[in-house]
Amino acid sequence: MSLLEAKNIRKVYKTRFGGASVEALKNVSFTVENGEYVAIMGESGSGKTTLLNILAALDKATEGTVILDGMDLSKVKEKNVAQFRRDNLGFVFQEFNLLDTFSIEDNIYLPLVLAGKKHSEMKERLDNISGTLGISDLLKKYPYEVSGGQKQRAAVARALITNPRIILADEPTGALDSKSSDELLALFKKVNQMGQTVLMVTHSTKAASNASRVLFIKDGTIFHQIYKGESTDRQMYQKISDTLTLLAQGGDK
């Protein structure tokens, strides 16, 4: 069975006074298998952020279902949604979203503290991942003291520390310079190879070329998908570029 299954998702935004309505997602269906690294690509306004918000239970679909590991997201009660997110999902955002009132260490602990874990357990979990993420030296610092790449690594640590079923990343390289981007992508790959499922939304070809599968979304529907298979990053990059060119020219598949 798939880890994540999205079936016939439709999302309609209504303006406040019920006038014009906009269909952000038309009919999106796809699955993510356990241990997969999936990228969703699309231009601005194509509906990819809407899709991610629905997968993250931050927003509700107008129609369709999202099933994570056998649980229907729409059946999760409103008051349990936050806890559900905390226990099952890890987030990495474009803008890092670290709280400047916390040190890096405390930022990483935040979801665990919310879950009511003991300090000794939190520390153990952090020790396990801090080496891999290369953040051991940053822990006592504050967000304003470290670079964007370091902030994003801290954010990844915050996402990983709960041992989530899936990591949802929204344009994780969007605010980073190319060197930091490369480092972060390498990190995602490493994490994925350790068995972590990753779903990334991006419009960077380079970022997407790291993934094992790329979904293309245009005008609210899944337009195409590419498997990486045995190809190298470079070949994958080429395939994605070709598809994007095709998309931009408005050609049908």
Residues that bind other proteins (CB under 8 A): 58, 79, 81-83, 85-86, 91, 93, 97-103, 106, 109-111, 113-116, 118-119, 122, 142-144, 158
Task: Please state the closest distance from residue 164 (CB atom) to other proteins, in A.
Answer: 10
Task: Please state the closest distance from residue 186 (CB atom) to other proteins, in A.
Answer: 25
Q: Which is nearer to other proteins, 19 or 116 (CB)?
A: 116
Please count the CA atoms within 13 angstroms of the CA of 91 that sit on its side-chain side. Answer: 21
Q: Which is nearer to other proteins, 114 or 186 (CB)?
A: 114
Task: Please state the closest distance from residue 228 (CB atom) to other proteins, in A.
Answer: 29
Q: Which is nearer to other proteins, 85 or 213 (CB)?
A: 85
Task: Please state the closest distance from residue 20 (CB atom) to other proteins, in A.
Answer: 26
Q: Which is nearer to other proteins, 90 or 220 (CB)?
A: 90
Task: Please state the closest distance from residue 129 (CB atom) to other proteins, in A.
Answer: 17
Q: Which is nearer to other proteins, 97 or 212 (CB)?
A: 97
Q: Which is nearer to other proteins, 118 or 234 (CB)?
A: 118
Task: Please say whether the dihedral angle defined by the alpha carbons of residues 31, 84, 8 and 226, taken in this order, is positive or negative.
Answer: negative
Task: Please state the closest distance from residue 85 (CB atom) to other proteins, in A.
Answer: 5
